[in-house]
Chain A
Amino acid sequence: MVPVGCCPPRQLLFWGGIKLIKDILEPSIDQESKSFWDGLKNEQLLIQYCDDCQNYIFYPRSICPHCFSEKIRWRNSQGAGKIYSYTVVHQAFGPFKQEVPFVVGIVELDEGVRMMTRIIGKREDIAIDKRVTVVFEKVDDPIVLPYFRLV
Chain B
Amino acid sequence: MNQKYVLSLTVRDRPGVLVRVAGLFARRAYNIESLSVAQTEVPGISRTTFVVTGDESSIEQVEKQLQKIINVLKVINHSEAKYVDRELMLIKVAVTSLDERTELRQIAADFRAKIVDVHQNALIFELTGDEGKVEAFIEQMRPFGIIELIRTGKVALTRSAEDPKVKKSVLAAKAA
Question: Real complex partners, A and B?
Answer: no
Using a CB–CB cutoff of 8 Å, the interface residues on chain A facing chain B are none
Using a CB–CB cutoff of 8 Å, the interface residues on chain B facing chain A are none
